[in-house]
Amino acid sequence: MAQTDEIRQVQEAARSIRQNTGRVIVGKEGVIDLLMVALLCEGHVLFEDVPGIGKTTMAKALAKSLGCSFQRIQFTPDLLPSDITGITFYNQKKGEFEFRPGPLITQVVLADEINRATPRTQSALLEAMDERQISVERETMMLPRPFIVIATQNPVELEGTFPLPEAQLDRFLMRVHLDYPSQSEERLILQRFKEEQPLQDLSPVISAERLQSLQKLIRRVRVDPSVESYTVELVRATRNHSAVELGVSPRGTLALYRAAQAYAAISGRNYTIPDDVKHMAPAVLSHRMIATSQARLHGRVMEQIVEDVLHTVPVPVES
C-alpha cells in the first residue's frame, strides 16, 4: 500500500501540471485532472468536441509540461502507415540499409484529427497504443516509455472522415469533452491571447523518469473489496441496460479500476472511495458502449446511459 508521503508527491505533481497548463488553458481544471489520471495510468486520451475550443492547445500545453519527447501528427486521408512508423531505405553513401524513424517513435504523440486517416493508418496507431511497439519491414521495435497518445477528433464535420472502430475506441482510457467556456472565461481568453502566445513560454515541470515512478506508485493505492465489487457491478450493469446493444468490456473494468486509483492519488488519498469510481465512470465508460438503434433514434447519448447506471447500482457504504 502506498504511504501518505508518497501520495503527496503525486498530488504535488498534479498540482504543478495543473498550474502550468493553466497559464494557457482557462477554466478547465477538471479536464486537466482527467489528463493527469490518464498519464498516471499510462492510458491514452481522445478529445472529442467541436472545432476551435482548445483541443489541440490543451494537448500541446500538457505535452510541454512533461519532460518527454513530443511529436504532432496531422492525420489526413493520404497519410500512410509508414509516414507515422518510419521507413527502411538504402543509403547509397554508406552502402547499407538504414531505418528512418517516424513521428510515432516518441513519448507523447498528438494525433490531430485522427478520424481523417484511413483504417489502414489507424490500425498502425492501434498496435502502438495497445502494445507499445511498432512493426516495420517484419521487424518489431519497442516504443520509448512513457508512451501516451493524445488524439483529437471533430464529431460534427464527418465529410472525408473514417470513424474510429470500436476496437480502437476501446484502447483509449477515456474520451474527454472540453465544452464551451463561460462568458467570463471567454473574456479572459481574449485578454490572455491578445498580445502574445503563452504556449511558447511553457517549460516542463516534471521529468519522464519522475512520471514513470509515479505511474508505478499508483498501482499501490488501496482498493477496498467493496469498491472492487462496485466497479464490477457498474460495468456489468452497462451490459444489461435496455438502451445498450454492446456493453463495456473487461478491459473497461480494469480501466475504471486504474482510473479510480489515480484519481484518489491526485486527490491526496492512498485509498479509493466509491466517489472516485463515480467521478471517472463517464469519461472511461461512455465510449466503450454501443447504443441500440431505438436509443439513438431518441437521441440518448452514452453519457446519459452511464448516469442511469450510476443511479441504478447501489453505492457501498461503510459498515
Query: Above 60 in pLDDT, residue 108?
Result: yes
Q: Assess contact for 76 and 114: CB atoms under 8 A.
A: no
Q: Do domains 1-195+204-217 and 221-312 have the same CATH topology?
A: no
User: Tens of pLDDT along 165-207?
Assistant: 777 788 899 988 877 778 887 888 787 777 677 777 788 888 8
- pLDDT of amino acid 253: 92
**Mean pLDDT score, 126-146:** 81
At 141, the pLDDT band (50, 70, 90 cuts) reads confident
Query: Above 60 in pLDDT, residue 110?
Result: yes
- pLDDT of amino acid 272: 92
Residue-averaged pLDDT of the chain: 83
- The closest alpha carbon to 64, from 256, 241, 259, 203, belongs to 203
Of the candidate CATH numbers 3.90.10.10, 3.40.50.300, 3.30.360.10, 3.40.50.720, the domain formed by 1-195+204-217 belongs to 3.40.50.300
Give me the percent of the chain exceeding a pLDDT of 90. Answer: 14
How deeply is 23 buried, as exposed, middle or buried, from its count of CB atoms within 10 A (0-12, 13-18, 19+)?
A: middle
Phi and psi at 242, nearest 5°, equal -65, -25
- pLDDT of amino acid 293: 78
Q: Where are the domains of the chain?
A: 1-195+204-217, 221-312
- 9-13, 57-61, 295-299 — which one is most confidently predicted on average? 9-13
Query: Above 60 in pLDDT, residue 154?
Result: yes
- Could you give the maximum distance between any two Cα atoms of the chain, in Å? 75
User: Tens of pLDDT along 67-106?
Assistant: 788 888 888 888 888 888 888 777 777 777 777 888 888 8
User: Tens of pLDDT along 253-286?
Assistant: 999 999 999 999 998 888 899 999 999 999 998 8
Q: Assess contact for 282 and 307: CB atoms under 8 A.
A: yes
**Mean pLDDT score, 283-296:** 82
- pLDDT of amino acid 160: 61
Q: Which fold has domain 221-312?
A: Helicase, Ruva Protein; domain 3 (1.10.8)
Model-level pTM?
Answer: 0.86
- pLDDT of amino acid 122: 83
